[in-house]
A = this chain, B = another copy of it.
Amino acid sequence: MDSMRIGVLGTGIVGRTIGTKLVALGHEAIMGARSPDNETARAWAKENGARSGTFAEAAAFGSMVFNCTNGMASLAALDMAGAGNLEGKVLVDLSNPLDFSQGFPPTLSVSNTDSLGEAIQRAHPGARVVKTLNTMNCGVMVDPGRVPGRHSVFVSGNDAAAKQEVSDLLRAFGWRDIIDLGDIGTARGPEMILPLWLRLMRTLGHADFNFAVMRAENADDES
């Protein structure tokens, strides 16, 4: 896989984990934050021989942009990134609209008749949004082998070529069972799995698990 220029929006554990994996795979990454002097982004950049900057700088740099911001703040962060900087870009949306304001369990701030993936696509019609990787812990996102057996990751988006690019990257992360659900409207399904995911995390006492879609088609094909 050729080296790509990738903007990573968000300095939380998801952004840092994704950014580190992308650099390890030989891609050029800029971590974008609200402020150009975000200490977490600077420390991550220093440690990974990468760069940091604003959301806008990271988005402008990347041919692919990862939205790793908190789902409740993603639309605002992408506004700051700038529609022009996202135009024509593959925008990989990993976020979940989890509202923890009433404690655990959180609710979804958008669900059922809409999804955050769709809202992001509407807000940035020129971006090629692909929803993926939002259904597992970030450690599993970049290292599916942490969870035994063959398990699944979903992709949703309107642009087939964008989904192909993202799927190639997912394979580089180690994913084998990549399920294309359809257009960005199908992001509702993976986003609405979060309440079950969060309960399972509490029940199991850890986050090293993932959903697998078990079916005859892939039964003999070990990951």
Contact = CB atoms under 8 A, between A and B. Distances in A.
Given A212-B211, A219-B149, A190 B182 contact: no
A147 interface: yes
Interface in A152-182: 154, 179-182
B212 A214 contact: yes
Interface residues of A, number: 43
A5 interface: no
A3 interface: no
Contacts of A215: 147-148, 204, 208-209
Given A111-B192, A112-B108, A113-B107, A200 B214 contact: no
19 contacts: A111-B112, A112-B112, A112-B195, A147-B215, A149-B219, A151-B214, A154-B196, A179-B203, A181-B196, A181-B199, A182-B203, A189-B197, A190-B196, A192-B193, A193-B196, A208-B215, A208-B216, A210-B213, A211-B212
